[in-house]
């Protein structure tokens, strides 16, 4: 493991952005790898691709007629 600091940004009401590549270990023992430059990790629990953010955290606006 590298000793250099990783860049992490917490987005209010959104994901946690982590400088990649990353290896994410989940509580159920499974893991996910991402080689992206920047990885968005879901912090809201609504992502269909959890632990990665799929933008499901964004508020849905209902149109009223
Ligand atoms: S933070 Fe984006 S889907 Fe959960």
In angstroms, the CA 32 to CA 57 distance is 20
Helix (H) or strand (E) holding 31: strand 31-34
Mutation to probe ligand 1, out of 9, 12, 15 (largest number of atoms < 8 A from CB)? 15
In angstroms, the CA 23 to CA 30 distance is 11
Mutation to probe ligand 1, out of 13, 55, 59 (largest number of atoms < 8 A from CB)? 55
In angstroms, the CA 55 to CA 42 distance is 9
Ligand 1 shell residues, CB under 6 Å: 14-15, 42-44, 46-47, 53-57
Residue-wise pLDDT for 9-44, tens only, equals 999 999 999 999 999 999 999 999 999 999 999 999
The tokens describing 8, both together, are 């992490």
pTM, full prediction = 0.81
């Amino acid at each position: 493991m590298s000793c250099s600091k990783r860049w992490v940004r917490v987005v209010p009401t959104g994901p946690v952005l982590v400088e990649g590549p990353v290896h994410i270990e989940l509580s159920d023992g499974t893991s996910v790898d991402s080689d992206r430059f920047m990885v968005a990790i879901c912090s809201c629990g609504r992502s269909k691709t959890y632990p990665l953010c799929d933008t499901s955290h964004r508020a849905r606006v209902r149109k009223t007629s």
